[in-house]
Every structure is written in C-alpha cells, then in structure tokens.
Amino acid sequence: MPESNRILRFVLILVLVFAGSSMLLDLLGSVGPVELAVWFVALTLFAIVLFYRTFRRRGKR
C-alpha cells in the first residue's frame, strides 16, 4: 500500500509542476521554442530525479 501512495504522490507532484509551469508561461506571454525546450528539459530532469529517489528508497527496504 505505501508503494501506491508513493506513486500517487509522484503523479500529483508532476501534475502540479506542469500546471504551474504552464500558468507561468502564460503569464510570461510570448514564449519561443528555446524557452519551451528549457522548460521541457527542466521538468524531465525533475521527473528523473523523483523516479530515482522513489526507486532507491524502495530498494533499501
């Protein structure tokens, strides 16, 4: 059961980050492809770090 809670928390954090970043991009106005690429790379790295921490913690048990 804790495993499903961890996955649910991970998905919730990702959804909040994507929603917040899209709202921020809307506030910034005109956004070029470079800014979109930077956001995509940053969010992808964030997701990879969260996945790594989740699986590393599960492996210790």
Helix (H) or strand (E) holding 50: helix 33-60
For the ranges 1-5, 35-39, 41-45, 50-54, the lowest mean pLDDT is seen at 1-5
Tens of pLDDT, residues 9-48: 878 887 887 777 777 777 777 667 777 778 778 888 887 8
Torsion of CA 46, 28, 23, 40, to 10 degrees: -30
Q: What is the pTM of this model?
A: 0.45
